[in-house]
């Protein structure tokens, strides 16, 4: 089996320039599949298109070591669909008898669409750790596989969808994540997955397409064993829990905190996590902070109660604000995201997000554009309203495109709600970033306290000469990114000055310079109602 992780980067846009500031994230899905294959003694290879310069050469090398039929497994997200299809077409050209399997969120959401491409033979839907090894054995031995669950495939000119099997309830039955299969110089290994599933039904989130609504958490003992190994073997001291919602089951969180303290890891490591505003309370946040948890990520999404109901978030703006306030009072660094361009949203709704971020004293914030990923309610809404804009093979499905894209080659939005224009939303996203960060004090904080801002991924000796070398290595990309931002700022200024395709006022734009001159932040102003 050759596992392939396709790339979302398109060299025609500016997103690739951000690569210089962080190493690629490990493919979690492929990682667990490789762990299962390793446990069952099945030979495999792995190719990550994002980091390899000679993908075709590696495929030739690996196939020479294997017996046909060659089986290729792709883990596919919507932004990586184009890359996966392009590579699959080349594989079918050079290895016509090969069998190509697609898995991941995108194929699970739209299996029929994926199988309309002749280069794809089988789609494995949902969690595939219990399915793919068995499928592989049947394919290798030439046996019938049509009794297996979770599969979609072509048979006699039609597409067959097998029933979905149950999700993996006992996550401890899975082997530990195979960090050893990923080069620590290429990837950040500072993460842990402690749970799967999300019981909430936000209209924009596609993650539960594969993992389901049922929330399942690994045992505290296994999680802590993993943390201990990451610290001792790989020298990781700052760990990111990548769970969609870390605090769904607070009873198990308290057990985890006890285990961390028993192992003394609260004195040796720090941890970061993601949470919802309605899941937190003062006690759990304080206990977590005292156990080494120092940063928290909140998906705030909006500052409008009306929009919060429309997106079916299941919480209120007030709950989110109180959660941020509690976290800041305790001492947490707070990172937050907002999403612009939800149905019925207005310019005024978006500007409330900027004000809210400043008032809450959030340390780092991102303003993204709403993207209707297949499998989400937002996708269905956009399609029903005839506002779904798919460019090529989902090549414009980026949530950060407005800010990170090349200013001279803009990525068309995949969705623009009624009553808005793409340029209005794009300008609001740009303005929001500039309005939030356009302060000497905030910029100073980013570089003075990198853990609360733009932390470079750097592993070196810590010597001045090595740090300078690292800065010089990144300098070309930093210069280009700086130029891109300068161009974006100028474009925004011209739009406001001419009132062309923007809802921004000159007063809002002038406020940028007012805030810069003041050199201070508003700070937290929301009353604590613990």
pLDDT recorded at residue 398: 85
pLDDT bin (cut points 50, 70, 90) of residue 401 is low
pLDDT recorded at residue 233: 95
pLDDT recorded at residue 22: 62
pLDDT bin (cut points 50, 70, 90) of residue 75 is very high
Query: Residue 133 and residue 233: Cα distance in Å, rounded?
Result: 29
Q: Is the pLDDT confidence value at 230 over 90?
A: yes
What are the pLDDT digits (tens) for 293-308?
999 999 999 999 999 9
Mean pLDDT in residue range 361-380: 95
| Domains in the chain, CATH or no CATH each | 2-161 (3.40.50.280), 276-518 (3.30.750.200)
- What are the CA-CA distances from residue 258 to residues 117, 253, 289 (Å)? 51, 9, 13
pLDDT bin (cut points 50, 70, 90) of residue 524 is very low
What are the pLDDT digits (tens) for 415-444?
999 999 999 999 999 999 999 988 766 666
Q: Is the pLDDT confidence value at 232 over 50?
A: yes
Which range, of 108-112, 167-171, 462-466, averages the lowest pLDDT?
Answer: 462-466
pTM (2 decimals)? 0.91
Q: Minimal CA–CA distance to 375: which of 211, 243, 216, 204?
A: 204
Q: Is the pLDDT confidence value at 154 over 80?
A: yes
Which range, of 105-119, 358-372, 509-523, averages the lowest pLDDT?
Answer: 509-523
Mean pLDDT in residue range 97-126: 98
DSSP for 130-192, please give it: TTHHHHHHHHHHT---TT-SSEEEEETTEEEEPPPPPP-S-GGGSPPP-GGGS-TTTS---EE
Is the distance from CB of 73 to CB of 101 less than 8 angstroms? Answer: yes
Mean pLDDT in residue range 269-289: 97
pLDDT recorded at residue 477: 66
pLDDT recorded at residue 281: 96
Which range, of 452-456, 458-462, 495-499, averages the lowest pLDDT?
Answer: 452-456
Phi, psi at 198, each rounded to 5°: -145, 125
Phi, psi at 366, each rounded to 5°: -125, 140
Is the distance from CB of 37 to CB of 44 less than 8 angstroms? Answer: yes
pLDDT recorded at residue 528: 44
Mean pLDDT in residue range 313-324: 97
pLDDT bin (cut points 50, 70, 90) of residue 407 is confident
CA geometry: angle 112, 118, 121, nearest 5 deg:
70
pLDDT recorded at residue 479: 78
What are the pLDDT digits (tens) for 468-508?
665 666 666 677 778 888 899 999 999 999 988 899 999 99
Residue 77 in 3-state DSSP?
A: coil
What are the pLDDT digits (tens) for 43-53?
999 999 998 98
pLDDT bin (cut points 50, 70, 90) of residue 13 is low
pLDDT bin (cut points 50, 70, 90) of residue 8 is confident
CA geometry: angle 326, 328, 331, nearest 5 deg:
110
């Amino acid at each position: 089996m050759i596992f392939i992780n396709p790339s979302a980067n398109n060299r025609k846009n500016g997103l690739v320039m951000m690569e210089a500031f962080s190493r690629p994230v490990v493919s979690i899905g492929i990682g667990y599949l490789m762990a299962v294959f390793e446990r069952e003694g099945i030979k495999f290879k792995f190719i990550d298109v994002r980091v390899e310069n000679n993908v075709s050469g590696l495929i030739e090398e690996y196939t020479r070591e294997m017996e046909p039929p060659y089986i290729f497994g792709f883990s596919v997200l919507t932004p990586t669909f184009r890359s996966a299809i392009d590579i699959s077409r080349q594989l079918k050209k050079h290895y016509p008898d090969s069998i190509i399997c697609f898995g991941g969120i995108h194929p699970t959401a739209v299996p029929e669409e994926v199988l309309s491409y002749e280069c794809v033979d089988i789609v494995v839907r949902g969690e595939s750790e219990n399915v793919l090894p068995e499928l592989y054995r049947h394919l290798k031995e030439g046996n019938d596989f049509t009794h297996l669950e979770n599969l979609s495939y072509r048979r006699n000119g039609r597409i067959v969808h097998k029933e979905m099997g149950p999700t993996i309830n006992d996550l401890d039955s899975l082997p530990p994540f195979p960090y050893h299969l990923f080069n620590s110089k290429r990837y950040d290994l500072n993460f842990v997955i402690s749970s799967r599933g999300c019981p909430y039904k936000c209209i924009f989130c596609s993650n539960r397409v594969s993992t389901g609504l049922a929330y399942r958490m690994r045992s505290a003992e296994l999680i802590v064993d993993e943390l201990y190994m990451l610290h001792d073997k790989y020298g990781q001291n700052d760990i990111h829990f990548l769970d969609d919602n870390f605090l769904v089951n607070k009873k198990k969180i308290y057990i985890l905190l006890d285990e961390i303290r028993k192992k003394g890891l609260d004195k040796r490591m720090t941890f970061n996590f993601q949470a919802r505003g309605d899941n937190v309370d003062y006690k759990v946040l304080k206990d977590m902070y005292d156990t080494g948890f120092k940063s928290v990520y909140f998906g705030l999404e909006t500052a409008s109660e009306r929009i919060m109901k429309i997106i079916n978030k299941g919480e209120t703006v007030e709950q989110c604000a109180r959660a941020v306030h509690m976290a800041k009072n305790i001492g947490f660094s707070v990172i937050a995201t907002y999403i612009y361009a939800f149905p019925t949203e207005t310019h005024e709704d978006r500007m409330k997000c900027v004000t809210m971020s400043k008032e809450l004293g959030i340390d780092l914030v991102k303003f993204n554009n709403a993207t209707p990923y297949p499998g989400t309610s937002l996708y269905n809404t956009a399609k029903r309203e005839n506002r779904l804009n798919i460019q090529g093979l989902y090549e414009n499905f980026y949530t950060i495109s407005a800010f990170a894209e090349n200013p001279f080659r803009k990525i068309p939005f995949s969705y623009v709600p009624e009553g808005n224009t793409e340029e209005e939303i794009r300008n609001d996203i740009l303005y929001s970033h500039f309005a939030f960060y356009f302060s000497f004090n905030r910029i100073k904080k980013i570089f003075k306290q990198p853990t609360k801002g733009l932390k470079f991924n750097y592993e070196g000796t810590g010597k001045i000469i090595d740090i300078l070398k690292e800065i010089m290595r990144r300098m070309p990309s930093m210069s280009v990114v700086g130029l891109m931002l300068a161009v974006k700022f100028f474009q925004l200024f011209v739009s406001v000055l001419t009132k062309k395709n923007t809802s921004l006022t000159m007063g809002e734009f002038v406020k940028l310079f007012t805030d810069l001159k003041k050199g201070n932040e508003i700070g937290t102003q929301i009353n604590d109602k613990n």
